[in-house]
Structure 1
C-alpha cells in the first residue's frame, strides 16, 4: 500500500468517500474542474470539517432540504465572524445532507487567494474568487453558489454590531434574474461569537493591504452554531429599474434577518 492510499484509509471514512463520490462534478482526466475543484482534496478537507462541524461548533441545521437538487442556485447568507467559517459550515451541511446532496461553490474575498498556498487549497475544496464573472459562469453551469452580499462589511464587523446586517450589494440579484437561479436565504447564528473583535486597526490593515486587522483574542471559541435555511425565492428576469432591483434585494435581506432572529431565539446558550 502506497503512502497516499495509507493516509486515505486512515483519514477518510468509507461513508465520507461514498458521499463525495456520489456528488457528480464535471472534472477532467486529472481530477480537477476549470476552477480547481478536486474530489480527493474535498475528502481530506471534509474529514477535518466533520470534526469541527459536529464536535467543536455542534452545528444545528434546519431547512437544508430547501436547497433545490438541480439547477442554478444562489445560497445567500449573512457574513459573520472574522474567518470564513460560515461558508465552510454551510457548504458541509449541503454536501452531507442525506437526500440529494450538492457540492456548493463559495465566493471568497479577493484577499485570500493572495496568501501563499491558501488560494490553491481553497480552490481545490470548492471556493472561487468572488468575481461576478466567475459567479455567472458557475450559474450558467447549473452550480449552487454560496454568496455573502455584505462582503467585507459583514465579515469584519465588530462584536458590538453582531447580527446587524450591513448593506447588501445588488449584484447577486442581477445574476439570479439573468440565469433564472433560485435564491435560498440562510441565517447564520453563532459564528459572531467564535472570534469576537472589539476594534479594527485600519491604518495597519491599509499598510498591509488586507481588509481588516481585528483586535481580538488569538483563539476560536467553540460557540454553538445554528444554520437556518429558508424557502427558495424566485425572481423573474424582467427589465425593471434599479430601484426595484434594490427592493428585491431588501426582501431577501429581510428574510435572512428573520432567519437570524429564529436562530437567536432557538439557542439556549452561547457555548
Structure 2
C-alpha cells in the first residue's frame, strides 16, 4: 500500500513523508496510538480522493504556522471527508508537512473497527485533556466546533453555521495556541441530506441518521476548495471593576 502512496505523490511526496517525525514507544506508536508507518501506507486511497475525486484546491495554506496551532473549520457532508481532505493538505501542501490531529466525537470509538484505525492514523477523541497534551507537544489540531450538528445537517441548511461551543477558544487562550480559521467549500454537496431519521438513529445509538439520495459512504465527486485564513492569537484579559 505504501508503494501505491508513493506512486500517487511521486518523489516530492516521498521527500515530505521522510520529514515526518512522531515520538514512538517500543511498539512503534506514539502515546495516543499513532503509527507513522501504518499512516504512510494508508494514505494511498485518501490521496487518490484528494487529487482525482474531490480535486482539492487550497488557498492560504502558507498561513499555517509551524508548531502548535488550532485549525477551526466548518463541518458538513454526512461523513467526515472534509476532515480527511484537510488532513491530506497538511501532508502534501503545508510547510512543514505534518500529521494533523483531528479531534473526533466521543461516540466515534464505539463503532466497530473505527477506534483502532483512527488511533493508528493519529486521530484522537476530543477531550480537553487530550487537546492540551497534544498542543503542549507542539502538534497541530483540527477542530470542528459544530460537531455532528454541522456534519449531519439537512441540505436546506447548507453553508449555515450551526450552534457551536467555545471550548476551542478556552483552549487557545490557555495553551497560547494560534487559531487558523478554515473554510471548506464543496463538502455540503457531496451527500445532500433530505431528512434526518432520528428514531432509527436513537435505536442505533447514532447522533443522527441522515437520508441522502447518494449511496453512503460513497460521496458525489464534488470539487473541494479549502481556504485557510491568517492565524489569530488571542490574549486573556481580566475584567476591571470600579
For normalisation by structure 2, the TM-score amounts to 0.91
Shift of 1:21: 2.5
Q: Is the partner of 1:223 in helix, strand or coil?
A: coil
Q: Distance in 2 between matches of 1:45 and 1:65?
A: 25
Of 192, 201, 205 in structure 2, the residue corresponding to residue 196 of structure 1 is 192
Q: Distance in 2 between matches of 1:194 and 1:162?
A: 11
Q: Does 1:126 align with 2:122?
A: yes
The answer to whether the 8 A contact 1:36-1:123 is kept is yes
Shift of 1:240: 5.4
Q: Distance in 1 between matches of 2:232 and 2:156?
A: 31
Q: Which has the higher contact order (CA 8 A, sep 6+)?
A: 2
**Higher percent of residues as helix:** 1
CA RMSD of aligned residues (A): 1.7
Alignment of 1:39-78 (within 5 A): 39-70=36-67, 72-78=68-74
Question: How many equivalent residue pairs?
Answer: 234
Q: Does 1:151 align with 2:147?
A: yes
| Alignment deviations for residues 174-205 of structure 1 (CA, whole Å, 9 cap, x no partner) | 00000000000000010111111010011111
Match of 1:36 in 2: 33
Of 171, 174, 180 in structure 2, the residue corresponding to residue 175 of structure 1 is 171
Q: Is the partner of 2:116 in helix, strand or coil?
A: helix
Larger mean Cα displacement after TM superposition, 129-138 or 17-26: 17-26
Q: Distance in 1 between matches of 2:5 and 2:223?
A: 25
Give ranges in structure 1 of 5+ residues lacking alignment. 1-6, 242-271
| Alignment deviations for residues 144-174 of structure 1 (CA, whole Å, 9 cap, x no partner) | 0000011111111111101000112110000
Q: Distance in 2 between matches of 1:181 and 1:187?
A: 19
Q: Distance in 1 between matches of 2:153 and 2:239?
A: 32
Match of 2:224 in 1: 225
Distance verdict in 2 for CA 1:164–1:207, change over 3 Å = same
The answer to whether the 8 A contact 1:66-1:230 is kept is yes
The answer to whether the 8 A contact 1:76-1:146 is kept is yes
Give ranges in structure 2 of 5+ residues lacking alignment. none
Match of 2:98 in 1: 102
Larger mean Cα displacement after TM superposition, 115-124 or 22-31: 22-31
Q: Is the partner of 1:32 in helix, strand or coil?
A: coil
For normalisation by structure 1, the TM-score amounts to 0.82
Distance verdict in 2 for CA 1:167–1:184, change over 3 Å = same
The answer to whether the 8 A contact 1:75-1:145 is kept is yes
Q: Is the partner of 2:124 in helix, strand or coil?
A: strand
The answer to whether the 8 A contact 2:69-2:179 is kept is yes
Q: Distance in 2 between matches of 1:116 and 1:140?
A: 31
Shift of 1:208: 1.1
Distance verdict in 2 for CA 1:42–1:199, change over 3 Å = same
Distance verdict in 2 for CA 1:159–1:24, change over 3 Å = same
Distance verdict in 2 for CA 1:88–1:8, change over 3 Å = closer
Larger mean Cα displacement after TM superposition, 18-27 or 217-226: 18-27
